[in-house]
Amino acid sequence: MAWLLRGIWLEELGANPAEFLIRATGDWTLRALCLVLTVTPLRVTLGLPELARLRRMAGLFTGFYACLHLICYAWFDMGWDLSDITSDIVKRPFILVGFMGWLLLSLLSATSFNAAIRALGSKRWQALHRVVYGVAALAMVHFFWMRAGKQNFAEVAVYAGILGGLLGWRLRRAWRVWLSAKPQR
């Protein structure tokens, strides 16, 4: 955030500062999402349960950057014109997918506080927060479609590899738990 504010202050955002801010906030959202999904594998693999405390903060940072990304788009690209924003969401699939991801992240951010956990109950809260895996998939589709117009897939492949590895780790772990819980014959 400080880097972006410095760039704005010193007018170092290039020829198209609006596009730079939209892209930068989207990139930071994706990075924060990767960080959130990295906490559990690190915690389990390294045997460091105290890492779990970082997950909520990283999740809220992800939501924060997603909000900044949407604000930059709505302000700089669309001039806060709600009818233009709505028609753009409907007309352009990558924006629709990104908006759906933002809605889900907003729901997760709104329910990441202790009072929400108590109100929902631990099991329902955990089930709701598994939506983050769908958010990761939506983020990748949004990023892929956005870069497809320029045939620039190098970064997409890096993030897809990272998120695929993190989600694959979880699937492998769930498979092992399911196999160990399966009754022996």
Is 181 part of a structural domain of the chain? no
CB 56 within 8 A of CB 111: no
For 61-73, write each residue's pLDDT tens digit. 999 999 999 999 9
Domain that holds residue 82: 2-172
Q: pTM above 0.75? A: yes
Is 100 part of a structural domain of the chain? yes
CB 97 within 8 A of CB 142: yes
Task: Choose between 2 and 140: higher pLDDT.
Answer: 140
Is 51 part of a structural domain of the chain? yes
For tokens 């979880």, name the residue.
170
For 157-185, write each residue's pLDDT tens digit. 999 999 999 999 999 999 998 888 877 66
Is 94 part of a structural domain of the chain? yes
Is 184 part of a structural domain of the chain? no
Is 185 part of a structural domain of the chain? no
Tell me the residue ranges of DSSP E strands in the chain.
none
Check whether 124 has a pLDDT greater than 70.
Answer: yes
Domain count, the chain: 1
